[in-house]
């Protein structure tokens, strides 16, 4: 009797888990759509605020705001926002990562979302009161990330829940699904943002982004808490045995060193280093791309949103069709980690070629480069899946937190570097305007060189960890 019912119960349990993954992907979709919907209108609102300082007669039109001085200040403000967020994230990410292993993933996710909403509310309030407060004070917005840890902790816990819900062989598919949900949001957001900007005002798009961020809480309630009481108790017992009795602070260097030691592996370190390219890539194909296209080719910012939607659609095709198909084919000949590594190397090579084309002085080549770059959109989920194969299941939360910290570290230099390269390109003129994308292509080349030295874990090691 047991033999007859066990497969049925197993299928029901698997179906329930995948339903939870779909709800989790819905959370990712809402957050991604909100962020994508906000990028272009926020850039336009900051640009208009800066422009009003220099144009004294009447309301400044967008055409008058494309001077080198205004665009340079805009680029630095947009670049420093993720920088401040990264600094705060690096300080608070690890303590909240530890707290998530004690109180659960979902409470920390809710706290992180609350901090993000407070940050957005502050930035919009500063822009809305130009006579009372200077627009530079929007840089204080990311300080609200101390509530919940910000995007670093948010993403780490979302992926930790996903890792807890599925078996190792389904990790790559799960991460593809979550990345796909993120790209659907990134596709829908700019299109709706552009429509409302053209029909009404950038403010309408910004308020819609705020509301969609709140809506993300609804599907989160249907996602189970994966930190079970038994797992929590075992973790607590393990900590009590391994940690010193006088351990009190989550910022203890002993605990930080212990967590890093549990993830040690030269190949894993290289795979983690690939996540340094995430922040530059996101910035270079979203908010900064809108400003770059608008300045270099005299496009209205609202129109650039449709170009971002095109990019998102291409990303969806890659993640929904191309990569799963290639993964299925390669799994016939290679173990899962080897397959992930092969596809990651191919993805980063394609991304480098696309970024190089985006530095061109013809809009057709830039669009073609954006399309080529989109073919490499599986790099992050592939590397996340590959990195997970190096660690035991109980270390996935620490791994995802480490990945989040590496991504946040990339934000420390991404914004200022793009702004400096853009400013330098405007001063030099001509083909030098593409300097930010030459730099982005160079970062992908370095990433590819690193992946060539990665050795996937042995199948026996992976099975032991599973």
90-125: pLDDT as tens digits? 788 778 878 877 888 888 889 989 988 999 999 999
Task: Indicate the range of 64-68, 267-271, 331-335, 360-364 predicted with least confidence.
Answer: 64-68
Give pLDDT, residue 441: 93
The mean pLDDT of 45-60, rounded to a whole number, is 73
Distance between CA 234 and CA 446 in Å, rounded? Answer: 41
Q: Comparing 401 with 204, which gets the higher pLDDT?
A: 204
pLDDT class for 450, splitting at 50, 70, 90?
A: very high
pLDDT tops 50 at residue 31: yes
pLDDT tops 70 at residue 384: yes
Distance between CA 77 and CA 73 in Å, rounded? Answer: 6
pTM above 0.85, yes or no: no
Give pLDDT, residue 240: 42
pLDDT tops 70 at residue 232: no
The angle formed by the CA atoms of residues 214, 81 and 378, to the nearest 5 degrees, is 70
* Count of Cβ atoms closer than 10 Å to residue 154 Cβ: 27
Give pLDDT, residue 465: 40
Distance between CA 350 and CA 363 in Å, rounded? Answer: 19
Of 273, 434, 282, nearest to 363 (Cα)? 434
Give pLDDT, residue 225: 77
Give pLDDT, residue 357: 93
pLDDT tops 60 at residue 229: no
Give pLDDT, residue 439: 93
The mean pLDDT of 316-321, rounded to a whole number, is 80
pLDDT tops 50 at residue 253: no
Give pLDDT, residue 122: 92
pLDDT tops 70 at residue 213: yes
pLDDT class for 365, splitting at 50, 70, 90?
A: very high
7-23: pLDDT as tens digits? 555 566 666 777 888 88
Give pLDDT, residue 12: 63
Q: Comparing 305 with 11, which gets the higher pLDDT?
A: 305
pLDDT class for 59, splitting at 50, 70, 90?
A: low
CATH number belonging to domain 12-225+259-456? 1.20.1250.20
339-348: pLDDT as tens digits? 889 999 999 9
Give pLDDT, residue 118: 92
Q: Domain residues of the chain, as ranges?
A: 12-225+259-456
pLDDT class for 356, splitting at 50, 70, 90?
A: very high
Q: Which residue has the tokens 């095109």?
A: 310
What is the rounded average pLDDT for all residues in the chain? 80
396-422: pLDDT as tens digits? 767 877 787 788 788 888 888 998 999
Give pLDDT, residue 251: 38
């Amino acid at each position: 009797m047991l033999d007859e019912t066990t497969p049925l119960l197993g299928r029901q349990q698997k179906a329930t888990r995948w339903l939870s993954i779909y709800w989790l992907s819905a959370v990712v979709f809402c957050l991604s759509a909100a962020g994508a919907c906000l990028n272009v209108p926020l850039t336009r609102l900051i640009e208009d605020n800066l422009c009003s300082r220099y144009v004294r007669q009447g309301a400044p039109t967008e055409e008058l705001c494309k001077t080198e001085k205004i665009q340079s200040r805009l680029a630095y403000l947009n670049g420093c926002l993720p920088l401040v967020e990264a600094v705060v994230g690096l300080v608070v990410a690890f303590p909240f990562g530890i707290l998530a292993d004690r109180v659960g993933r979902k409470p920390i996710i809710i706290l992180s979302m609350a901090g993000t909403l407070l940050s957005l509310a502050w930035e919009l309030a500063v822009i809305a009161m130009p006579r009372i407060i200077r627009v530079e004070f929007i840089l204080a917005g990311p300080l609200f990330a101390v509530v919940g840890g910000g995007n670093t902790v948010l993403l780490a816990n979302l992926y930790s829940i996903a890792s807890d819900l599925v078996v190792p062989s389904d990790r790559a598919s799960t991460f593809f699904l979550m990345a796909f949900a993120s790209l659907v949001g990134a596709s829908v957001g700019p299109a709706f943002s552009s429509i409302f900007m053209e029909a009404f005002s950038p403010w309408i798009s910004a308020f819609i982004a705020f509301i969609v961020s709140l809506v993300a809480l609804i599907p989160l309630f249907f996602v189970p808490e994966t930190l079970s009481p038994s797992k929590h108790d075992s973790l607590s017992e393990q900590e009590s045995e391994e940690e010193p009795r006088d351990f009190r602070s989550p910022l203890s260097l002993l605990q930080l060193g212990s967590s890093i030691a549990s993830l040690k592996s030269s190949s894993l370190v290289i795979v983690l280093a690939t996540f340094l390219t995430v922040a530059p890539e996101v910035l270079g194909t979203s908010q900064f791309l809108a400003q770059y296209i608008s300045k270099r080719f005299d496009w209205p910012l609202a129109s650039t949103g449709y170009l971002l939607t095109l990019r998102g659609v291409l990303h969806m095709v890659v993640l929904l069709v191309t990569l799963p198909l290639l993964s299925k084919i390669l799994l016939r000949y290679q173990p899962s980690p080897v397959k992930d590594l092969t596809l990651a190397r191919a993805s980063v090579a394609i991304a480098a070629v696309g970024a190089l084309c985006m530095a061109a002085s013809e809009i057709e080549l830039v669009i073609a480069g954006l399309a080529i770059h989109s073919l490499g959109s599986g790099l992050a989920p592939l590397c996340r899946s590959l990195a997970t194969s190096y660690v035991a299941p109980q270390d996935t939360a620490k791994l995802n937190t480490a990945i989040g910290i590496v991504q946040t570290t990339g934000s420390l230099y991404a914004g200022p570097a793009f702004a400096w390269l853009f400013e330098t390109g405007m001063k030099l003129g001509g083909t030098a305007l593409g300097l930010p994308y030459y730099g982005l292509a160079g970062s992908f080349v370095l990433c590819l060189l690193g992946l060539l030295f990665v050795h996937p874990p042995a199948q026996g090691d992976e099975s032991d960890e599973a």
